Amino acid sequence: MSEGSRPDPQDAPGPDAVSGQSGGASRRQMLRLGAAAGAVVLTVRPGIAQAATSVLSCEIPVPDPARASQAVAPDGTMVPKGSTGAFPGGRTFTGEQVRTGLRGGNLPGTSYEESQAYLNYVRRLQHGRSGFTCYASLMMPR
């Protein structure tokens, strides 16, 4: 540029030059980010599918082994064996069976009343009881 001439507008630094990136570098970075995001999606989805499968195959004993000598009352509480209206314990259901029961179906091999008693027991499960983790996993939103 000579001393009396005006600067050429094409020689002026553009917005990418001010930020220290050329247009090509910015596009490359976006492509890299897109490729990385695609890889994350591909690796996470099988993990989610595996977790969903394990939740459906986990087991919930009714009642838990520590209370095996008791029966289940219609409200889900534990009562002594032989109590009127109580159902025998010693059953184990998978997460999928319990989920179906919670959605209105019966647990396999049970009458409607028996199924409701067992489901009430499952709803009352607390941390530290056998089957609680399986039940909590069923209740988590997807």
Model confidence band, residue 78 (pLDDT cutoffs 50, 70, 90): very high
For 87-133, what is each residue's pLDDT tens digit? 998 889 998 999 999 999 999 999 999 999 999 999 998 888 888 88
pLDDT for 9 equals 54
Q: Decide if pLDDT at 138 tops 60.
A: yes
Question: Is 108 in contact with 97 (CB distance < 8 Å)?
Answer: yes
As a whole number of Å, the end-to-end CA separation of the chain is 65
pLDDT for 25 equals 65
Greater confidence, 45 or 31? 31
Domain definitions of the chain by residue range: 16-54, 58-139
Greater confidence, 7 or 106? 106
pTM: 0.60
Q: Decide if pLDDT at 28 tops 80.
A: no
Tokens of 87: 């159902």
- Give the H/E segment covering residue 78: strand 78-80
Q: Decide if pLDDT at 24 tops 90.
A: no
Mean pLDDT of the chain: 76
